[in-house]
Amino acid sequence: MVLSRLQPTWWHRVEGWYLAYALLGISTAGVAPMVLPLVVSRSGSPADVGLVMAAISLGGLTAPLWGGLAEHYRWHRGLLVGGLCVIAFAFMAFASVSSVPLWLGLAVIQGSGVAGATTVANLFVVEVHPQEEWDERIGWLQTFYGSGQVAGMLLAAGIIQASLEAGVWMAAGITALAVVLGWRTTRTPVAAVSPKPVVIHPVRHGDLARRCPQQLYHHLTPDLVRQLRRVLQGPFRHFLLLWLCTLLGSSAFFALYPVLMREVFGITASLSAAAFAVAAGLRLMVYVPAGYWSHRVGPTRVLRTAIGVRLCAMVVLLSLGLGSVGAPSWLVLPTVILIALSWALLSVSSTALAVRLSPVNEGEGIGMLNAVTALADMLGARLGGWCAARWGYNAATGVAVVGLAVGFALALVLQPDPGESLGCHAGQG
């Protein structure tokens, strides 16, 4: 027993309910981002697609509410199962209606369900296990969710060519299976060990769906809101601004991703989903090297490099879309894969910088980072959809280029932390 505690194998860090979160990753991070924009685009405009995807992010902002309910009333198991039930219902209803207002309402409901189900994931870890195990266990939780995203995109690639409705119903069925697993494999912890744990672990998936358990759990507190003047100053304010611009631009592209690839490049939704699945799978293997690199050269340099790579790739994609270069069309998918892979560097470096530059404690710094991420998701999806409706889908890629260019310019003048070469947090990813 003592030996197993000193040298635990990986399966000692994995619990049965992780499978429910893998299924949630399949439906909400894999299938939904590929299928829902296509469903809306059939009878709605590009602006409608952006609105619906922004509404999902809006529902995700209810995470602090569900976290508070779980902590105060011990509703962990109920919030997990209830959230999964709400998601399954939203998918079923989405497949049965064709009205933009109804889609918007269902998108908010789905986002709220995801927030309710995933917010308690950290609590199932930190209220049961000792603090020294938190990061490793949550790392495995994110890996399960990220692996589910890959599997979901591959499933979407196989089914959406035949029927979009079948894809939505498949997501509903997978989420219903998660309901059963979640109910059978979880029990509400007896008492909270720490109401606001600080778990510094870079997000192991992103772009198409960033509402992972770790990201949703850290949220703004009333005390932090009262301290905003002190918090939003100096290098930290500069960092949050460049992060907002960078992700706003990226979200303008990814909110419309499957529709944009079809309308601009003539690439089928199945092939687009398969390409992103490849990128998401490769990305799971890049986080640890990204952490080592951030530890060696500092997260500021890694952030600059990641934004620069994504900016250059997005410029290539815009040029291909506008037909201003004579490049072969097979360059499109490798470029998209490169854009998606850059998220590993972005997530590792941004997590480390939020912790280092925050003038308040680490948890509140992460909370500010996640609040800005959610804001960028909503604004980017809305702006990308509006611009695509007004000037065509290439305009959404143009918004991405502008946002990334501003973010890169701000990153160039971001002052590195004096002790950056001694990095201690980045390597945890």
Looking at residue 65, its pLDDT comes to: 79
Identify how many contiguous H helices and E strands the chain contains and give both numbers: 20, 0
Residue 60 is given by DSSP the state H
State the distance between the two ends of the chain, measured CA to CA, in whole angstroms. 28
Q: Residue 425 above 50 pLDDT?
A: no
In 3-state terms, the chain is what percent helix, strand and coil (to 5)?
80, 0, 20
DSSP string, 296-355: HH-HHHHHHHHHHHHHHHHHHHHHHHHT-S---GGGHHHHHHHHHHHHHHHHHHHHHHHH
Identify the burial level of 323 via C-beta atoms within 10 angstroms of its C-beta, where 0-12 means exposed, 13-18 middle and 19 or more buried.
Answer: exposed
55 inside domain: yes
137 inside domain: yes
CATH number at residue 154: 1.20.1250.20
293 inside domain: yes
More confident residue, 278 or 133: 278
Question: And the tokens for 146?
Answer: 């990220």
Total domains in the chain come to 1
Looking at residue 4, its pLDDT comes to: 42
Percent of residues, the chain, with pLDDT higher than 90: 48
Model confidence at 14, pLDDT cuts 50, 70, 90, reads confident
Looking at residue 364, its pLDDT comes to: 67
Residue type, 8: P
What distance in Å separates the CA atoms of residue 41 and residue 57, rounded to the nearest whole number?
18
Domain containing 120 equals 9-417+424-428
Residue 206, φ and ψ in degrees, nearest 5 = 175, -165
Question: And the tokens for 68?
Answer: 């508070």
Model confidence at 421, pLDDT cuts 50, 70, 90, reads very low
More confident residue, 124 or 306: 306
1 inside domain: no
Model confidence at 294, pLDDT cuts 50, 70, 90, reads confident
* Predicted confidence (pLDDT) per residue in 174-217, tens digit: 999 999 999 999 888 776 555 555 556 666 666 664 556 555 55
Looking at residue 119, its pLDDT comes to: 79
Q: What global pTM score does this model have?
A: 0.86
Model confidence at 107, pLDDT cuts 50, 70, 90, reads very high
Q: Are 84 and 175 in contact (CB under 8 A)?
A: yes
Q: Are 284 and 235 in contact (CB under 8 A)?
A: no
Minimum mean pLDDT among 225-229, 259-263, 324-328, 343-347: which range?
324-328
| Residue position matching structure tokens 């972005």 | 346
Q: Are 49 and 61 in contact (CB under 8 A)?
A: no
Q: Residue 335 above 70 pLDDT?
A: yes
- DSSP 3-state assignment of 87? helix
More confident residue, 359 or 219: 359
292 inside domain: yes
Length of the chain as a residue count = 429
297 inside domain: yes
Identify the burial level of 233 via C-beta atoms within 10 angstroms of its C-beta, where 0-12 means exposed, 13-18 middle and 19 or more buried.
Answer: exposed
Looking at residue 60, its pLDDT comes to: 79
* Predicted confidence (pLDDT) per residue in 75-87, tens digit: 888 988 999 999 9
* Predicted confidence (pLDDT) per residue in 346-383, tens digit: 988 888 888 888 776 666 677 778 778 888 989 999 99
Minimum mean pLDDT among 7-16, 93-102, 160-169, 267-276: which range?
7-16
352 inside domain: yes
Query: How many CA within 13 A on the CB side of residue 49?
Result: 32
Looking at residue 427, its pLDDT comes to: 35
3 inside domain: no
| Residue position matching structure tokens 């490849």 | 278
Q: Are 134 and 126 in contact (CB under 8 A)?
A: yes
Residue 114, φ and ψ in degrees, nearest 5 = -60, -40
| Residue position matching structure tokens 């941004």 | 350
